[in-house]
Amino acid sequence: MNFPEKFLWGGAVAANQLEGAYNEDGKGLSIQDVLPHGLKGPRTDVPTEDNLKLKGIDFYHRYKEDIRMFAEMGFKVFRTSIAWSRIFPHGDEEEPNEKGLQFYDDLFDTCRQYGIEPMVTISHYETPLYLAEKYHGWTNRKLIDFYLRYAKTIFTRYKDKVKYWLTFNEINSILESPFMSGGIPASKEELSEADLYQAIHHELVASALATKLGHEINPEFQIGCMVLAMPIYPLTPDPSDVICSMEQNQRNEMFLAVQARGEYPGYAKRYFQDHRIHIHMEDGDEQALRNTVDFISFSYYVSVCATADPKKNKRGEGNLLGGVPNPYLKSSEWGWQIDPQGLRYVLNDFWDKYQKPLFIVENGLGAADELVELPDGTKTVNDDYRIDYMREHLKQVGEAIADGVPVMGYTSWGCIDLVSASTAEMRKRYGFIYVDRNNDGSGTLERYRKKSFYWYQHVIKTNGREL
Ligand code: BGP
Is 362 among the catalytic positions? yes
In eight-state DSSP terms, residue 132 is H
Query: Residue 442: is it exposed, middle or buried by C-beta count within 10 angstroms (0-12/13-18/19+)?
Result: exposed
E strands of 43-180, at which residues?
Answer: 77-81, 117-123, 164-168
CA of residue 8 to ligand 1 center, whole Å: 21
The residue from 126, 203, 253, 362 that is catalytic is 362
For atom 14 of ligand 1, the residue with the nearest CA is 420
pLDDT tens per residue, range 238-255:
999 999 999 999 999 999
326 close to ligand 1 (CB < 6 Angstrom): no
> 194 CB contacts (<8 Å, ≥6 apart)?
277, 278
Pick from 116, 361, 113: nearest CA to 225: 361
**Atom 2 in ligand 1: residue holding the nearest Cα:** 421
Cα separation, 363 vs 436, in Å, equals 22
**In testing the pocket of ligand 1, which one of 17, 422, 423, 439 has its CB within 8 Å of the most ligand atoms?**
422
- Among the options 117, 170, 203, 253, which is catalytic? 170
pLDDT in tens, 170-229: 999 999 999 999 999 999 999 999 999 999 999 999 999 999 999 999 999 999 999 999
Nearest in space to 182 (alpha carbons), one of 125, 134, 229, 257: 125
Distance 237 CA to ligand 1 centre (A): 31
- Can you tell me the distance from the alpha carbon of 366 to that of 52, in angstroms, rounded to the nearest whole number? 17
CB of 422 sitting under 6 A from ligand 1: yes
Q: What integer pLDDT is reported at residue 320 of this predicted model?
A: 67
User: Which amino acid residue places its CA nearest to atom 10 of ligand 1?
Assistant: 421
Q: What is the pLDDT of residue 175?
A: 96
CA 244 / ligand 1 centre spacing (Å):
26
Q: Which helix (H) or strand (E) holds 147?
A: helix 142-157
The CA distance from 390 to 412, in Å, is 9
With contact defined as beta carbons under 8 Å apart, do 120 and 154 qualify? yes
Tell me how far apart the alpha carbons of residues 164 and 319 are, in angstroms, rounded to a whole number. Answer: 25
**pTM given for the model:** 0.98
Q: For residue 364, which atom of ligand 1 is closest to its CA? A: 6
What is the pLDDT, as a whole number, of residue 41?
82
Report yes or no: 241 and 307 within 8 Å, Cβ to Cβ. yes
What pLDDT band is residue 316 in, cutting at 50, 70 and 90? Answer: confident
- d(CA 430, CA 433) in angstroms, rounded, equals 9
CA distance 446 to 371: 12
Tell me which residue has its CA closest to atom 9 in ligand 1: 421
321 DSSP assignment: S
